[in-house]
Amino acid sequence: MAVCSEIMGLHQPSFLQGSGSLLLRGNQNKQSLAFPAICPDGQDRRRRLRSAKTVAAPVKATINEDVIKMVVGKQAKVDKVMLRAALTVRRKHKEDIKEAIVNQLDALTDKFGRNVVLELISTEINPRTKKQKTSGATVIKDWFEKKNVKGERVVYTADFTVDSSFGEPGAITVINRHQKEFFLESVVIEGEGSTSSCGPVHFSCNSWVQSTKDHPKKRIFFSNKPYLPSETPEGLKELRETELNELRGDGKGIRKLSDRIFDYATYNDLGNPDRGSEFARPTLGGEKIPYPRRCRTGRPPTDTNSPKVVFIQETTYRASFHGTDMLAESRVEKPNPIYVPRDEAFEELKQGAFAAGRLKAVLHSFIPSLIASISADNHDFKGFHHIDNLYKEGLILKLGLQEHLLKKLPFVKKIQESSEGLLRYDTPSILTKDKFAWLRDDEFARQAVAGINPVNIERLQSFPPVSNLDPAIYGPPESAITEAHIRGQLEGLTVQQAVEEGKLFMLDFHDIYLPFVDRINMMDGRKAYATRTLFFLTPIGTLKPIAIELGLPPRQPGASRPSMVLMPPRDATTNWLWMLGKAHVCSNDAGVHQLVNHWLKTHATMEPFILAAHRQLSTMHPVFKLLHPHMRYTLEINALARQSLINADGVIESCFTPGPIGMEMSSAYYKHHWRGVAVADHTQPHGLRLILPDYPYADDGLLLWSAITRFVGAYVQIYYPDSDPNRVRSDSELQAWYHECVNVGHEDHRHASWWSPLDTASDLVALLTTLIWIASAQHAALNFGQYPLGGYVPNRPPLMRRLVPDPDRDADEYKAFLADPHCFFLSSMPSVLQATKFMAVVDTLSTHSPDEEYLGGTRDGAAAWTADEEAAAVYRAFAAEVAAAEEEIESRNADPSRRNRCGAGVLPYELLAPSSGPGVTGRGVPNSVSI
């Protein structure tokens, strides 16, 4: 298993727990010319063979007749060769007036020397001077002429004259003397020579090239040929290190939006003490409050004397003012952009889709916010039909609020008329096949293995369940659930037999919630228990809930806990109590899902690995090329999360039960290990036997896990063959990357036992497989079902506002519950404002962008990511296996014996079906954590 599997929250397998290239064409008699001597001597045989199999180019640049005449028509110039560069520049779909004017000015000034300047660098060095061979500077010659060319992509050309012994171009430098940055998608170099050719040289750039007024240094781009550090051609060694040094920066200063610097910081920007002391939050990251590191922005400290956070117990904090805390970083509030390295920001299509989703979220929450602001009534839902109407007529008309609002805010009607489509919610998938499925116990259990958070179910190893918390503080460790509670629900088995035969399972949120329950319950409108739920595995392979424990902390340290145990209902009263108990379990589950399994164990855990990859692995490194698609957009979406989701008073605090202490809970969980429900069994197809026979998440996850493992294994063997067992250990960049991931990115756990050495190819395969799994399938399974399965709030309330009624605690409340249990249940749910805000946000988070790139998806020309045909062939085999997995998933969803994914009113499990269209689809596995 991967060396970092435990910190990711994973045991083996981990879930158990250059497009648009153009062909330059001209007259019929134009010729395509080739390079002289671009297969340099001195490479080992394997490298030469792989170079000889370089994939066909997706872009074919040609040289016109004038160039040919210059080269072959002058016999006296046989020692010189003309090379032509074809540069594909991607333009924005939409430009504002200012951008259009600047573009026209840049085109005009290009005529007067404010050019885009290029220089080629050979893979070879001059044998006499021992320095790089360079082409000398040249400029793009047709920028002005193509200023009015329509289309998303424009291809510009530049010519170089080099010695015939120049060798293969291995790098190109670019200087942008215009006023504005431009997006360079790719460069293709072709030329002429009398010796054998290896074809055009491709540079997959996909980067913003800044103006020299912002960044005066040359931009360096390497060809798409992979090189381990030890195999770097002599002519590129210095540039390789120069580029990495620039990406690392010096760790000082405020980052500009145009920077491309990757560095680390703690989560010291979630609070906003300048807004008030109640918005101060502890810094996450450090020995006392461990957390992964995030991308450094270098913003100055807050103006206010912010509270220093003092560590008290394992997960308990208090704030006390001791002067200015220089660790609290000032905030950048939306709509102002927050820094991420320039090339990591959303591209235009993604930005547009995200902005549209955010607009939709704003409109959805606008009316309820108005209602809350002008009325003392918090507007609970008065009936389930009011919730249903959100998906039919929109917010105003069917909540009985239109007249109330129009009297005070006449413009509301215009908003409703102009944006009614945006104000209406789509019907979540959970309601489409069976409107009342959420009420059933079997559906409650099914969602533990095929729902939004299918990773917390675990086999009960002994009875009763016990806590790992300190009994001197939290009381006796044994669960309040006894044999008497469950004996009659085990199909004739004794409790001991059920345990031994693997028939008992549990959702255990006890230990993560209990240290925080008192603080949660002191908040206005927030109520929580620390819950345990026991399930019995039925003979047909489904689970049924048999007991729910609702735990509260002891009234004094070490005393017994005042826990309540609920069993399946026997009458009307126990039915409503059981429904409320299940709702509290779902609320616990929603908090752990969002704060731990989704945010922490995919988004936050991946960020240090991405930062270290950019800082320590050259773009020429084969491991960087492998990982690059799985790092796309993650830094940007994480920055946006710090800005408006996980920050003080952000969406997570507003919509989930833990509220302001949610990120402290996330930090507490960072210390915990993942627990799985599989055992090794080498007779099984994937080397594991699932204890749960019908576990859709794990069943489908194994298909993708195995495909990723085989792909990574074959890819790694190309560059780290078994015949050279020391190659991994001797790879300086690879070792620096891993060392930094452990000792800087996850510094607070750098001494943990799960970090095994990165010594062998097997070690590397395990690590890379885990990272790719987390970024793709793990994140997809936890993210894209949020609105389809959670958009109907009663099915999975993200927060609870009332405890289960107890006649011993509050006799009057219990009487009110008996008199109107329907009203009591709805008043325990989120309010209209809380529910609609939550629905709008998870709708956005569940949406696929139009430019999404999916696991195993086609790549626009294999040379766009590598020139190594052997690696490209390995990827094609992987893509075919992923496609086959999708067909298998479709077949499973039609199998009536798989009752957790097929049956009357049962939703198919599609969250790990790899492909998807844009929008909220409830399926699709993107390559990266991109939303």
- Residues carrying an active site annotation: 598, 603, 779, 783, 931
Whether 830 and 838 have beta carbons less than 8 Å apart is answered as: yes
C-alpha 665, offset from chain centre: 20
Cα 173 to Cα 66, 139, 184, 190: the distances in Å are: 25, 11, 12, 16
Helix or strand or coil: residue 145?
coil
Cα 904 to Cα 593, 892, 894: the distances in Å are: 27, 15, 12
- The tokens for 592 are 């752990």
The residues facing 203 across adjacent strands are 187
Residue 188: phi and psi, rounded to 5, are: -125, 130
Task: Residue 54: count other Cβ atoms within 10 Å of its Cβ.
Answer: 23
Cα–Cα dist 215/222, whole Å = 19
Whether 403 and 759 have beta carbons less than 8 Å apart is answered as: no
Report the greatest alpha carbon distance in the chain: 106
Helix or strand or coil: residue 173?
strand
The residues facing 162 across adjacent strands are 81
Cα–Cα dist 903/924, whole Å = 22
DSSP state of 564: E
Q: What is the CA radius of gyration of the chain?
A: 30
What residues have CB less than 8 Å from 613, skipping those under 6 apart?
A: 623, 624, 627, 631, 737
Choose among 631, 709, 766: nearest CA to 881.
709
Cα–Cα dist 567/577, whole Å = 9
Tokens 């001059």 belong to residue: 126
What residues have CB less than 8 Å from 391, skipping those under 6 apart?
A: 424, 425, 426, 427, 428, 431
Rounded to the nearest 10 degrees, what angle do helices 510-521 and 572-592 cross at? 100
Tokens 């085999």 belong to residue: 877
Whether 913 and 923 have beta carbons less than 8 Å apart is answered as: yes
| Residue 312: burial class (beta carbons within 10 Å; 0-12, 13-18, 19+) | exposed
Cα 254 to Cα 245, 250, 299, 340: the distances in Å are: 18, 11, 5, 12
Cα–Cα dist 428/700, whole Å = 23
Handedness of CA 725, 731, 736, 741 (dihedral sign): negative
The residues facing 211 across adjacent strands are 176
Cα 751 to Cα 264, 550, 579, 620, 739: the distances in Å are: 19, 36, 44, 31, 12
Choose among 545, 540, 546, 585: nearest CA to 692.
540
Cα–Cα dist 774/768, whole Å = 10
- The tokens for 605 are 């855990």
- The tokens for 4 are 């970092």
Single-letter residue type at 511? D
- The tokens for 911 are 């969250």
Helix or strand or coil: residue 19?
coil
- The tokens for 542 are 């489904």
Task: Residue 838: count other Cβ atoms within 10 Å of its Cβ.
Answer: 27
Cα–Cα dist 589/839, whole Å = 17
